[in-house]
């Protein structure tokens, strides 16, 4: 349907909805003016949109049955083959189901998006195919990527290959499980609270939340613009670094990308840590939710770095604990605005690519509001309450992020990297189907207190397996300076210990 303005009576009703009392004469005057600009708006509707070239042939693929999907980690299986040569030649890659792959269905873990098929490839998909990768399929994500419990996806829970009966975390849970099960060589995840690092920790793989803006988010569904990160997941530090070399760099479209500086990430591997300075952050340990076995394994790994010639000092950053509090209104109110007021695209006034087909697909989600999982309902409730307070908590938290970033930077001026547990606990049991909203929310937000501060500060952070506790993987997190992601790979390479 072509765009149109309502007649004068319709304008009066719109005004009344806004609390505006328009007289019939005023409504007619506005209508006369607006009618004059209608042709320009209809012209916009008729103009073709810029569309990236779909360079590689593909079929939609298929939705695997249970026998072909033992951990329930695949949403769709495909076989899209890229260039015959390149850094990723011969590598099978899974992409999280919030990443656009043209012609392949996308749900973002949500039943309300069943039937949506993107018509473009995300920038990172094109880059991986250009580098010779095979896109092996779409990995399951939590419902709208708004959970870490591995229990909310419309396709059901994803089981942890390295801890049967336990959660894979989230929201990049399918990607982590497929890497851990060796069904793919690499995977793509997205991270707004820890959604790459947390499942990497629980599944014992390597996952990097790159510096904010280092990897273009074009063609990836987000939550809150200032939190959106996309990055690599793999079973080795080398494979993770190799994937980052392919997907990193400015694409000229994503407005999140400012001052981007890439590095040769694989070239630092094997250099060791002799002479490096590492700050072990006290506040990342001994939290109320911490497991003693996790803290012990991470401290043991830090001592291993000392034996390799690194200087490891325990330091205190009290603002680290404040960071998780700041993240709350930024994420909850920002995501609420994205979903309720910004048609799922979330970034009015910011440079970027807007998917009209996705906006049409998600329109009318309100009719299904009672079908949504507790994480989404809880997020909408709190976001609405924050908004009714005039948005001031969101605004003040965003202002205080400057202080948080400065606190981390002050220590990163003295140390090459910071170190702490990725998650304070190992993988927990999968939730029962009748879990209460409170239990789902605790399972979703309890593990992210160490990870979420770096989503708002934008620092690069990597999770690497450093051992096990009660036969479950333990993740160690390293944090570095902005756009110095290579140093994280260098240290991670020295401490990585595969759980199997």
Active-site residue set: 96, 171, 195
**Count of C-beta atoms within a 10 Å radius of residue 270:** 10
Give the C-alpha distances (Å, rounded to integers) separating 223 from 83, 147, 161, 244: 32, 12, 28, 22
Block residue for tokens 């998917």 = 355
- 319 Rama class: left (phi>0) / alpha (psi -120 to 50) / beta: alpha
Task: Collapse the DSSP code of 173 into the 3-class scheme (helix H, G, I; strand E, B; otherwise coil) and give the result.
Answer: helix
For residue 248, CA distances in Å to 56, 176, 212 come to: 20, 20, 11
Tokens of 266: 């694989």
- Report how far residue 485's alpha carbon sits from residue 243's, in angstroms, rounded to the nearest whole number: 13
Could you identify the residue written with the tokens 């880059």? Answer: 127
Tell me the two tokens of residue 488: 């994280």
SS3 467: strand
Eight-class DSSP state of 161: T
Question: What's the token pair of residue 387?
Answer: 């908004």
Task: Note whether 453 and 326 are within 8 A (CB).
Answer: yes
Report residue 154 CA to chain centroid gap: 18
Asked if omega into 447 is within 30° of 0 (cis), the reply is no
Q: Whole-angstrom Cα distance, residue 150 to residue 152? A: 6
- Phi and psi for 390 in degrees, rounded to 5? 80, 10
Of 260, 257, 231, nearest to 244 by C-alpha is 231
Indicate the Cα dihedral angle 355, 358, 362, 364, nearest 10°: 80
Specify whether the CB–CB gap between 171 and 147 falls below 8 A.
Answer: yes
Reduce the secondary structure of 304-340 to three states and give it as a string.
Answer: HHHHCCCEEEEECCCHHHHHHHHHHHHHHHHHHHHHH
336 with 383: CB under 8 angstroms? yes
**Contact call for residues 275 and 411 (beta carbons, < 8 A):** no
Cα atoms in the Cβ-side hemisphere of radius 13 Å centred on 470? 13
Residue corresponding to tokens 């300075």: 277
């Amino acid at each position: 349907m072509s765009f149109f303005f309502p007649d004068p009576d319709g304008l009066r009703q719109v005004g009344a909805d806004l609390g505006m009392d328009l007289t019939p004469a005023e409504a007619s005057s506005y209508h006369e003016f607006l009618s004059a600009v209608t042709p320009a708006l209809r012209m916009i509707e008729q103009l073709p949109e810029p569309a990236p070239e779909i360079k590689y042939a593909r079929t939609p693929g298929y939705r695997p049955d249970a026998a072909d999907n033992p951990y329930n980690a695949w949403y769709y299986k495909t076989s899209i083959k890229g260039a015959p040569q390149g850094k990723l030649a011969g590598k099978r890659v899974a992409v999280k189901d919030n990443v656009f792959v043209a012609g392949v269905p996308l749900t973002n873990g949500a039943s309300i998006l069943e039937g949506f098929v993107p018509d473009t490839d995300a920038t990172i998909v094109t880059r991986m195919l250009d580098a010779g990768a095979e896109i092996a399929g779409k990995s399951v994500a939590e419902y709208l990527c708004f959970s870490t419990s591995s229990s909310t996806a419309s396709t059901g829970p994803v089981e942890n290959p390295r801890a049967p009966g336990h959660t894979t975390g989230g929201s990049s849970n399918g990607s982590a499980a497929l890497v851990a099960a060796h069904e793919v060589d690499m995977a793509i995840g997205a991270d707004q609270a820890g959604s790459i690092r947390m499942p990497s920790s629980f599944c014992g793989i390597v996952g990097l939340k790159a510096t904010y803006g280092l990897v273009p988010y074009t063609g990836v569904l987000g939550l809150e613009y200032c939190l959106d990160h996309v990055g690599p997941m793999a079973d080795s530090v080398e494979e993770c670094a190799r994937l980052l070399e392919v997907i990193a760099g400015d694409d000229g479209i994503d407005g999140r990308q400012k001052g981007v500086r890439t590095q040769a990430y694989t070239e630092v591997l094997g250099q060791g840590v002799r002479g490096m300075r590492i700050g072990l952050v006290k506040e990342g340990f001994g939290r109320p939710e911490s497991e003693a076995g996790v803290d012990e394994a991470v401290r043991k790994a830090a001592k291993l770095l000392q034996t390799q010639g690194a200087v490891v000092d325990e330091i205190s950053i009290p603002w680290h604990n404040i960071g998780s509090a700041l993240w709350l209104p930024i994420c909850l109110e920002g995501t609420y605005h994205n979903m309720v007021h910004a048609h799922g695209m979330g970034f009015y006034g910011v440079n970027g690519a807007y998917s009209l087909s996705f906006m049409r697909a998600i329109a009318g989600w309100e009719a299904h509001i009672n079908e949504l999982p507790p994480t989404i309902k809880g997020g909408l409730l709190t976001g609405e309450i924050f908004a009714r307070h005039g948005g001031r908590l969101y605004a003040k938290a965003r202002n205080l992020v400057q202080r948080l970033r400065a606190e981390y930077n002050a220590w990163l001026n003295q140390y090459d990297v910071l170190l702490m547990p990725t998650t304070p606990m190992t993988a927990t049991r999968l939730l029962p189907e009748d879990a209460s909203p409170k239990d789902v929310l605790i399972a979703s937000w309890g593990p992210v207190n160490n990870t979420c501060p770096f989503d708002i500060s934008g620092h690069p952070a990597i999770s690497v397996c450093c051992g096990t506790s009660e036969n479950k993987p333990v993740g160690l997190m390293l944090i570095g300076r902005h756009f110095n992601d290579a140093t994280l790979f260098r240290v991670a390479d020295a401490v990585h210990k595969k759980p199997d």
